[in-house]
Chain A
């Protein structure tokens, strides 16, 4: 069966520090991969998605970037965090077309001090 791993679960970082969040999927090949941010009590904002290795689509211009160095690995990065980068970050995957059901990781709670 397929599983998705996202870490760390919580992270506290100072303003201006770098960020690297990692997401990996097991049990499937060539998944579509997604990074979302969710503000407290709010909906999901799609940040990036990828349909293949090295293929990244950005939905919102921001302080963040994404990379897909391997088929089942998706990384969210920042060179310098801002206070506004705080939030709950979710990784997800889906098979086939982009409108297939998505399967989510358990998220990373990022607090910027």
Chain B
């Protein structure tokens, strides 16, 4: 299936450290997206990277995309306790108008 797979499943770091989460997928894509979910809430879209882009920044977020390896990483720099959440990647299918497929997520805990 097209589903992205995040790695690691869970990550615990100290405040101020950087957090890196990875996503792998199986087939060609138009774009890859990252979302954040606070406990008990809906997902919030963070960033979209197109298949012809290799890196994208938004504030403390840095996303990379390697289409040859079919993988993406999300880096959160100088993490804060408020960054504690689950992070999901979502991929589309390059062919056809089909819905996004979300991975199972990485649960990030930032300890103050």
Measuring CB to CB, which residues of chain A are less than 8 angstroms from any residue of chain B?
6, 32, 34, 41-44, 46, 49, 59, 88, 90, 92, 97-99, 101-107, 109
Contacts and interface: CB of A to CB of B under 8 A. Distances in A.
Given A43-B88, A44-B88, A101-B33, A92 B98 contact: no
Contacts of B42: 6, 90, 92, 104-107
Nearest to B93: A99
Interface of B: 30-31, 33, 40-45, 48, 88, 90, 92-93, 97-105, 107
B8 to A, nearest CB: 14
Contacts, number: 56
* B42, B43, B101: most-surrounded residue (chain A CB, <10 A): B42
B43 A90 contact: yes
Contacts of B40: 88, 107, 109
B99 A104 contact: no
A99 B107 contact: no
